[in-house]
Structure 1
Amino acid sequence: MRVGRGLSGLLAFILLLVVVVGTAWEQQPHGYRTEENPVDVFNATKAFRTVTEIAQRPHAVGTAEHDRVRDYLVGELRKLGMQTEVRSGIGQWPTEFKSGELGIGRVENIVGRLAGNAPTGTVYLVAHYDSVPSGPGANDDGVGVAAILESVRAFTSSRTPVLRNNLVVLLSDGEEPGLLGSEAFVAAGDYDKNGVIVNHDARGAGGPALLWRITRPDGALAQAVADAIPHPNSDSMTTALAGAETSSNTDYASFKPAGLRVLDWAYAGRSAYYHNRLDDPEHVNLATLQQLGENTLAQTREFGNKDLATVTADDSNRAYFALPFGVLVVVPVWVIIALAVVMVLAVGWVIWQVRRNGETSLKRVFLSAATALAAVPLAGAVTYGLWVGVQVIRPSYKGMPIDPYRPEFYQAATIVLSAAVLIGWYVFARKMFDATAAGLGMLTGVAVLGAATAAVLPAAAEVIVVPGTLAAIGVALTFVTPQQWRLPILTVFLIPAALFLGGFTWTGVQAGLTSAPFLAAPLIVLLGGLLLLTLTHAWPQRRSWTIPVTAVLLTAALTAAGLVVDRVDDQHPRMSQLIYALNAETHEARWLSSMEPDDWTRNFVSGDAPEQPFATLWPKAISSGSAPAQSLAAPTAEILSDTTEAGQRKVHLRLRSLRGANRIDLLWDAKPQSLKVAGRDITSVPDKGFHFYALPAEGIEVELVAPAGPLPLRLIDFTWLADSGVDAYRTPPADTYFRQDTTSAVFTTVPLNG
């Protein structure tokens, strides 16, 4: 490995770092179209009008503002020439949403339709139009709704405003309480089995539009994205691992079990604004809206004119990865397996060459590889520990949805600390083994990890196998080429590692400081370690330990800068949570919170956990305090019938909230044998009870069948605390906003005789 001596090796390394930074920059959205552009292209400025209209205020399900937004969107779809209707129904949590619990609710899905001229299936453009009660939902999911409407406008304004396939716009309802609208849509059964779903959502207020999840088999879908989408920010590692993701659910979880093909698009930058009162039009990134919308319009045209029967019949999976300038490389999975074999063979041949030449020994190479692999979890551990330490210093971060408002210094600290681990390992390996063993040890570690991943989950191995294989070939070529060509050849073959490092690292950090240790840090060690091959004989011989030490000091400086810069104020409020709970029978009230007391909630709660019965009803509450009991009307359960026959007790109830609550829960100690809620049979009866959202004024009917004998039931209704009329409640200061589960609750027992 006689490459990269002196300044030439350093310059090659710097060039590769430029590629890394340039790739990360290119992936981010830049610029947006204005009014002067052609009418048949996506225009973020026009789309933004929809955002400003629907995101004036929070519009959670069951509220008057929700109804205003619904009516506005129905009118806009009809202006676009779509046959539009509101489909009312009862939806429930999909089985993949939460195990052992049940949420159910009244929804009003908006469905617009344009008929195709020779349909082979249906393209569904999907976004949810409800928001959380804590924020106006400009990004989540106003931008998704706006992207769809503007895409339809641009398409219908083109010279050929007719598609081969049917086009359906589904603006789903009740996504925030638990994907209720999409589940109701699927449960009704009135959908095209040859359907392709393009779903839109957001977990932040900026960043690139990412295809982060896709149904499998994904071969035809991935190829369509590669062929037509201008910003195909996706890779098969992310989609393969996210396929089983349950902590960040979207309407995807409703459509997938129905056998529909789904492309799940979202963006996650500036995540502090997620479910925030400042998720308003002012905090929408128009460049992100432009990127998302251009993708939506392109997918409308691509799938709208494609033979969808062949798409839905395709049973192949693919490996794929994005490159700069809108390129998505799609290959059969066997290609990744073959590349893994080539990588292992190339690395083996290189090891044989260096051993034969006497540059190093097998023992040193393998020990170096073992330590290189150990550096991967070490980088994850220390970067995770960094964020935990920051949260100890700044406890308010524990309550943030994902990241702080100004995360840039912390993000840079995460990257620099990961690099410090890599450089620290490199200094250690060069000292303990030798320069050749250090470089070849990292290459061997990449080969071992890539081959193992390819054997288990080949579609997810492309991020390691593709750059690892080319790096191994590049190193192998240095043994058979003239001296003057060795470094240029090696540098060219390391460019894929730089491209992958740039493409994956920044999006991994943007995904969240708690997930960056698992998404970004390992790749910085592995792919960054490959780039160090250019420095094998250009690394300083003396005082090289100062480089990782300097990186650690820079990490500390960046972290300190983050603590100084990111402060709570009116435009960057802390998240808080508070519950007013009233026992209507004993007339006892308590303030509760599932968060540690902050500067404001200390006026209501202390660090003491609640006592019974509050502790049972709110098991996540860790703070509580006494509250004045107010005369709030308790929810009622009118007993329409109560009969016992053949050892079974059948109870028919009408549940109502006399104070106009938006949600009502019915809880039990012993699980009933069967359950029907608001006319819908529940096939899997939950263990403890159910939550019903968007409760109508007339209430809902519930039918239970249980074993004969006592049937203790408890009833609770919930309203958004700020709208509940609780006299003891005071508006929080401007530097504080409430989480979406901030409520007032009144509970009582159902008077059923034994």
Structure 2
Amino acid sequence: MRLVLALLGAVLLAIFATTPPGPRGSDTPATEFSAVRAMADVRAIARAPHPTGSAEDAHVRDVLTTRLRAIGLEVSTAQGSMDAKSAERLATWSGSTATVPLTNIIARLPGTDPTLPAVLLMAHHDTVWGSPGAADDSAGVVSILETVRALKASGPQRRDVIVLLTDGEELGLSGAKMFFAGDPLRAHIGPIVNLETRGGGGRASMFETGDGNDAAVRLFAGAVRRPVGTSLSVFVYKKLPNSTDFTPAKAAGHYGYNFAFVGRPGLYHSPLATPDNLDQGALQDMGGQVLDLTRALAAAPVDPVAKIDRVFFDIFGLFVVHYPPVFGWVLLGAAALAWGFAARGAGTWRDGVRGIAVTLLLPIVAGVLLYAINLVSGADGPVNYYDRLAAIPRLQVQALLACIASIGLVRALLMRHRLDPAGWTGAAVPLLLLAAVAQGLAPTAAFLITVPLLIGGVVALLSERGVLADSIAVVLAAIGIGHLLAIGFLLMQAVGPGMPMIAALPLVLAATIAWPLAPIVSRQTALTAALLLIVAALAVALWVRLDPVAASVAVYSKFGAPH
């Protein structure tokens, strides 16, 4: 019953963490962000696809310049030429080799101290071929419009706020490259806030910063209500080949913040990415965070720059925990002590070895299951990238079933009944060693392992020590497992179609927290449950495999073609 209660609480917390707030209505105070007000602009600019050079994109630029002037900003445009690679991609879409100029829109909301570097709000106004782009990137554009409208209604800001709506992002970041390569206004730019999407909903996350983000993260944590962001995503994004308009800004030596939401992934570059299909809660989430952050940046007397990075992560989208990287060693030491005391005088060394074997075997079994079942779902041959994105909700279900099944298999193979306290600590030992390696090599990402281990150690200390201690252990386990469920959910959205094995790490961490609460289950029961879950996962995988190609796929995409 203890584990059931903990898992129920974990699921509820994970749902809360990954669900955006409801949209605020048109009666929201003028100084606050309203998704309902912003949706009027989405409908105006996302009525049809508007790739670079199209008549529809020219119409969108007219709408945006008129809207910015109506808010009270000084507006201008800057034109330039795209490079050969961008021109080739546009020609592939359109079938025309005609030369098309790039047109960036630049607007300025004057501050009271023009000597301070300005805050730059950036999004792109172009779409891919065939998509109305209500999310990518109309959601980013209108979030900026509603933000500067709210700032204007609040009265003068200390810093200038500059709006840059770039052209040609979908062709290779062309407009951003043009601006940061030589626009005279670049010298006046301080902190940058870039807005992107890859999907049509979900919580908006601050997933990338500039280097040396210590002060920037502290400002973000203190300014934003219901913030979402982790230093893990910052670390991982540096290793990925992905890019946004923030990429040339960073390359030019600028710093700042990058926001995006990735829910409803099937709508990425989709002909179905219409205003009616955009999650207004995601728009509210992005705009609300950006307004809070921009207001704080515009009021700051100095730029939030530092020479070191900071560890940070949000707690269910309610607030941000942050600390210097060296403090990770303190948390790791506390976790090791908690597990050590939990095992004191309980069990034998053989029980500890069994626990170590469980933790070493579990990710292997889970990884093999996740990989094999993903092949059954269609990953064994050429795939359409956008079709796989549309399948992510089902791929998440099959991954969850495979993960739970792997626990049953490992339990049937290695446990007679359940792990005892020495076994709990044995199960934590490989992860403590892994956390030490991560703390040494990637300290801003190590919290993913260290914090659950600390929570698990406290759960192990409290488990079976009375009603009050057990109740606290259940609450802590719900928090720790819920946090890992939310992270696993987002990881599967980000890279799950190609790398479902990534779910094995949150799984083994969650299992380590859960072992002290686990009930006695026979090997036969565990094996039977595991086999039933595998059958269910295979059924979902076959559903994905046999389904027709989703109607949401990008019109220019092909099977096996790069996206």
TM-score normalised by L of structure 1: 0.68
Q: Which residue of 1 aligns with 2:492?
A: 509
Give a deviation string over 1:274-322, Cα, whole Å, max 9, x none: 112222222211111111111121112111111233x13x223211111
Contact between 2:227 and 2:314, CA under 8 Å: does it hold in 1?
yes
1:157 aligns with 2:153: yes
SS of 2:239's partner is: coil
1:446 aligns with 2:431: yes
Distance in 2, matches of 1:373 and 1:192, equals 53
SS of 2:270's partner is: coil
Shift of 1:482: 4.9
Distance in 1, matches of 2:534 and 2:174, equals 48
Q: Which residue of 2 aligns with 1:256?
A: 250
SS of 1:333's partner is: coil
1:18 aligns with 2:13: no
Q: Structure 2 counterpart of 1:258, which letter?
A: A
Give a deviation string over 1:429-488, Cα, whole Å, max 9, x none: 31399544543332223222222211211110111101202322342456xx95455533
Alignment CA distance shift 1:142-1:441 (3 Å): same
Distance in 2, matches of 1:199 and 1:381, equals 38
Contact between 2:129 and 2:555, CA under 8 Å: does it hold in 1?
no
Contact between 2:232 and 2:448, CA under 8 Å: does it hold in 1?
yes
Alignment CA distance shift 1:259-1:366 (3 Å): farther
More displaced stretch, 428-437 vs 501-510: 428-437
SS of 1:35's partner is: coil
Q: Which residue of 1 aligns with 2:454?
A: 469
Shift of 1:137: 1.4
Contact between 1:58 and 1:65, CA under 8 Å: does it hold in 2?
yes
1:330 aligns with 2:350: no
Q: Which of residues 208, 214, 217 is equivalent to 2:209?
A: 214
Give a deviation string over 1:183-233, Cα, whole Å, max 9, x none: 111111532466111111111111110112212211122112211212311
Contact between 2:136 and 2:269, CA under 8 Å: does it hold in 1?
yes
Contact between 1:232 and 1:326, CA under 8 Å: does it hold in 2?
yes
Q: Which residue of 1 aligns with 2:165?
A: 171
Contact between 1:59 and 1:65, CA under 8 Å: does it hold in 2?
yes
Distance in 1, matches of 2:181 and 2:29, equals 41
Q: Which of residues 69, 74, 82 is equivalent to 2:60?
A: 69
Q: Structure 2 counterpart of 1:441, which letter?
A: G
Q: Which residue of 2 aligns with 1:306?
A: 300
SS of 1:207's partner is: strand
What are structure 1's unaligned runs of at least 5 residues?
1-10, 95-103, 579-593, 597-619, 621-738, 741-754
Shift of 1:408: 3.0
Alignment CA distance shift 1:123-1:441 (3 Å): same
Alignment CA distance shift 1:342-1:573 (3 Å): closer
Q: Which of residues 124, 127, 133 is equivalent to 1:137?
A: 133
Q: Structure 2 counterpart of 1:156, which letter?
A: K
Q: Which of residues 521, 527, 534 is equivalent to 1:545?
A: 527
Q: Percent identity?
A: 25
Q: Which residue of 2 aligns with 1:747?
A: none
Shift of 1:75: 1.3
Equivalent residues in 2 for 1:210-289 (5 A)? 210-246=205-241, 248-289=242-283
Q: Which of residues 104, 109, 127 is equivalent to 2:123?
A: 127
Equivalent residues in 2 for 1:493-532 (5 A)? 493-515=476-498, 517-532=500-515
Distance in 2, matches of 1:150 and 1:93, equals 35
Shift of 1:169: 0.6
Q: Which residue of 1 aligns with 2:104?
A: 109
Distance in 1, matches of 2:451 and 2:379, equals 40
Q: Which residue of 2 aligns with 1:710?
A: none
Shift of 1:518: 4.5
Q: Which residue of 1 aligns with 2:366?
A: 379
Distance in 2, matches of 1:93 and 1:299, equals 37
Q: Structure 1 counterpart of 2:405, which letter?
A: A
Distance in 2, matches of 1:182 and 1:576, equals 25
Distance in 2, matches of 1:183 and 1:343, equals 46
Distance in 2, matches of 1:69 and 1:405, equals 28
Q: Which of residues 49, 58, 61 is equivalent to 2:49?
A: 58
Distance in 1, matches of 2:233 and 2:133, equals 26
SS of 1:68's partner is: helix
Indicate the structure whose relative CO is greater, using CA pairs within 8 Å and at least 6 residues apart: 2
Q: Structure 2 counterpart of 1:390, which letter?
A: S
Alignment CA distance shift 1:325-1:205 (3 Å): closer
- Relative to its length, the structure with more helix (as a share) is 2
Contact between 1:463 and 1:500, CA under 8 Å: does it hold in 2?
no
- Relative to its length, the structure with more strand (as a share) is 1
1:365 aligns with 2:352: yes
Distance in 2, matches of 1:532 and 1:303, equals 45
1:43 aligns with 2:34: yes
Give a deviation string over 1:22-47, Cα, whole Å, max 9, x none: 22211211421122222222111121
TM-score normalised by L of structure 2: 0.89
Give a deviation string over 1:101-148, Cα, whole Å, max 9, x none: xxx984211110012112532111110001111212111101110111
Distance in 1, matches of 2:529 and 2:42, equals 48
Contact between 2:416 and 2:522, CA under 8 Å: does it hold in 1?
no
Contact between 2:417 and 2:520, CA under 8 Å: does it hold in 1?
no
Distance in 2, matches of 1:93 and 1:264, equals 27
Alignment CA distance shift 1:341-1:148 (3 Å): same
Distance in 1, matches of 2:308 and 2:379, equals 48
Shift of 1:391: 1.1
Distance in 2, matches of 1:349 and 1:530, equals 15
Shift of 1:377: 4.4
- The alignment of Structure 1 onto Structure 2 pairs a total of residues equal to 548
Contact between 1:418 and 1:525, CA under 8 Å: does it hold in 2?
no
Contact between 1:272 and 1:400, CA under 8 Å: does it hold in 2?
no
Cα RMSD, aligned residues only = 2.9
Distance in 1, matches of 2:556 and 2:104, equals 30
Contact between 1:474 and 1:493, CA under 8 Å: does it hold in 2?
yes
Distance in 2, matches of 1:434 and 1:51, equals 55
Distance in 1, matches of 2:370 and 2:188, equals 45
1:85 aligns with 2:76: yes
1:403 aligns with 2:394: no
Distance in 2, matches of 1:364 and 1:331, equals 36
Q: Structure 2 counterpart of 1:473, which letter?
A: V
